[in-house]
Amino acid sequence: MKKSHLLMNLPVSLGMVLLMLSACTQATPDQQISSDLTDGYVWHQMVFPESDAEKTDFNKDIFEVTPFSVKIALPDGWFAGEYDSQAETYLYSGVWSRVAIYDKEENCVGAVGYNTFELDEETEGELMAIYNQIALGNDYQFDVKNSYTVVKKSDASETATVDVYYSPVLFTPSDSGGDPKINYGVLSYNSDKSVYVAFEFDSSVTDETVAYIANSIEFID
């Protein structure tokens, strides 16, 4: 079982209204404190960047940010673990320090990574400026322009669901039948920290699960 030392699990009961989404749209085990949950979700805390293993002269500014934490609720039994770039197929490009997300059967059903952003007076609050590394690709993109749906916001942060588009050119005909692939995405940025996290989930994950996870995301000190 590939579980990450990034995570600390705490029980949670989230009283939130689920938002329905469009259908087209390193080695220490996790520790669950309690399984006595009424809604079947558990808090997880992730720290970014996990390490500077991917740091180069080209991206060093991204890895020199003050480490930050994100708290999310995942279904009971799910866990986050080491991302295997040779095996995992989520977050094709644009984010760093990727972490894989597994369901209780240990199937990889998604991933999360982070990046930084800079805004000036002309681009303040513009989504394409915040998410430009993952929103501007032709063959792979978080479709911020057409499918961005805000689920929660505060003075410093905003979280939204979005479609993740894969062009047919990224697959062989036998893999996709020539059709594009659409996965679920969840984006959350924090303007005080000038960072964002991007989650991608397989299209087999339910609308309700993605909505619950999106509603639970918090940036913490």
What is the distance between the alpha carbons of residues 30 and 10, in angstroms, rounded to a whole number? 10
Residue 104, domain member (yes or no): yes
Is the pLDDT reported for residue 126 higher than 90?
no
Highest mean pLDDT among 4-18, 38-52, 205-219: 205-219
Residue 154, domain member (yes or no): yes
Domain count, the chain: 1
Residue 182, domain member (yes or no): yes
Residue 77, domain member (yes or no): yes
Residue 1, domain member (yes or no): no
What number is the average pLDDT over the span 78-97?
92
Residues contacting 148, CB < 8 A, separation 6+: 127, 160, 161, 162, 187
Residue 88, domain member (yes or no): yes
pTM of the entire predicted model: 0.82
Which range among 66-80, 117-131, 137-151, 182-196 shows the weakest confidence by mean pLDDT?
117-131
Q: How confident is the model at residue 198 (pLDDT cuts 50, 70, 90)?
A: very high
Percentage of residues of the chain with pLDDT beyond 70? 78
CB 28 within 8 A of CB 51: no
Average pLDDT score, the chain: 83
Its domain, for residue 78, covers 10-220
What is the distance between the alpha carbons of residues 28 and 174, in angstroms, rounded to a whole number? 38
Residue 2, domain member (yes or no): no
Q: pLDDT value at position 120?
A: 73
Q: pLDDT value at position 73?
A: 95
Higher pLDDT, 5 or 137: 137
What is the distance between the alpha carbons of residues 205 and 209, in angstroms, rounded to a whole number? 7
Residue 209, domain member (yes or no): yes
What is the distance between the alpha carbons of residues 58 and 116, in angstroms, rounded to a whole number? 14
Which range among 7-11, 70-74, 119-123 shows the weakest confidence by mean pLDDT?
7-11
Is the pLDDT reported for residue 118 higher than 50?
yes
Q: pLDDT value at position 29?
A: 30
